[in-house]
Every structure is written in C-alpha cells, then in structure tokens.
A and B are shown apart, each in its own frame.
Chain A
Amino acid sequence: MQPRSRFPKAVYGVGEEPDPRFTLANERTFLAWIRTSLALIAGGVAIDAVALPLSGPVRIATSAVLLLLGLALPVLAWWSWAATERALRLGRPLPGSVVTLPLAVGVGVVGLLVAVGVLTR
C-alpha cells in the first residue's frame, strides 16, 4: 500500500510523526491568525466604507496599513505553521513567532494614525 503523501513535502517529507496534540495546537494557532487577518481586512474596508470622523489622507493611510497587514498575515501564518510543523517533526526548537512583530507594529501605527486623524480633522 502506497504511503499517503501530504502537502507540503517540505514539511511531511522530513522527520517523524509528532505528538498530534502539538500538531492540532499548531493548526489552531494558524486559524487564529487567519481570523485576525479577517478582522484587519474588515477594519481596512470599514475605515472608508463607513463615514468616520478622520481626515482624508489619514483615512487612506490607515485603510492601506490594515489591508496590507490583512494580506501579509495569511502568508506569514502559513509559513509559520509549516516551519513549526517541520520543527515538531525534526524534534528541533520551535521557530520564534514571525507574525507578532509586524502585527504589533502595524496596529501601533494604525492607532497613531487614527489619533492624528481625529486631531487634524
């Protein structure tokens, strides 16, 4: 019987089957980032789809930052999931979170922009 080949090979072609509790935890982490990304996309669209008391250029900048974060996050979440699953299979230390810093910086920038936007309305 042929062994099942799972996608991607870069993950499943190496190492051994890890404790599935860690695999499922990794999966839930990925899904949490996807939901975060959806919230950011919704925010980015809502900024100008809904009339908010912000000045024009600030509104655009805020919208852009949120949407760019919403685009980057699924990519980072996938990469993070794959790197973590690989590390689990190889028994290596888990990679640090790639997602947290861009997210923290991005949301901080958005907060600043909104503050500026409200003050310069």
Chain B
Amino acid sequence: MSAADPGLQPERTALAWRRTLLALAVAALVSVRVLPPVLGGWTAATGLAGVLVAGVLWAAAARRSRRSAAAFPHDRGAMPGGALLAATALLTAGGAVLGLLRLVVLLLR
C-alpha cells in the first residue's frame, strides 16, 4: 500500500482532468448553438458528438486516475501512457478547426 503523498499529486491530477474535460464538454455544447447558423445543421451533430466524446474521455480519465493512484508512488511501470492526452489534444484542435471554418465561411459571405 503506497504511503499518502503530502503533495496530493494523484488527486490534483484527477481534478485537472475533470476541469479540462468539463471545459471541453461545455465548449462542444456551446458549439451546437454557435456553429449551425453559419456552417449548417451538420455542425449541431458534430457538437453533440463532441459532448459524447468528452464523456467517453471523462470515463477514461476516471480509470486513469484510479490506475495512477494505485501505481503511485512505487509501481512506476504501471503509470498510464499518453493515449488519452493525444485524444484530448485532437478533440481540442478539432474545435479550433471548426471555429476557423466558421470564420472562413463568414468571410466568404
């Protein structure tokens, strides 16, 4: 059993994941309102898909946090890898792309 970490690192990291994925979910939800007037109805679907993906990532982050907490601080090899980070970065970049698309379409009008 690992000793309690005075720095509370696993707990802080778990909270950071939750804050981040919550912000992502809210952004995706807002995109359902903001994108369709400019880009069309299909962007309501992408927004809802974004919320769903954020939900999936949330569940994955919860698993990750449990695994980190169990591995921390002695079972170093059991610490999780970078796949969830890559997925999060992709989802965020996707939001930026849609925002840029919206700007371009507005310019072309």
Contact B12 A28 (CB under 8 A): yes
A sample of 9 inter-chain contacts (CB < 8 A) reads A11-B82, A27-B13, A27-B16, A31-B16, A35-B23, A38-B24, A45-B34, A64-B100, A67-B103
Interface size on A, residues (CB 8 A): 45
Contact B89 A34 (CB under 8 A): yes
Contact B27 A41 (CB under 8 A): yes
Contact A38 B27 (CB under 8 A): yes
In the bound complex, CA of A71 to CA of B10 (Å): 29
Interface size on B, residues (CB 8 A): 42
Name the contact of A20 in the complex, choosing from B16, B72, B92 (C-beta under 8 A).
B72
Consensus secondary structure, chain A interface: helix
In the bound complex, CA of A89 to CA of B69 (Å): 20
| Contacts A60-B107, A74-B89, A81-B85 given; does A21 touch B7 at CB 8 Å | yes
Which A positions have Cβ atoms within 8 angstroms of B?
A: 3-4, 6-8, 11-12, 17-21, 23-25, 27-28, 30-32, 34-35, 37-38, 41-42, 44-45, 48-49, 60, 63-64, 67-68, 70-71, 73-75, 77-78, 81-82, 85
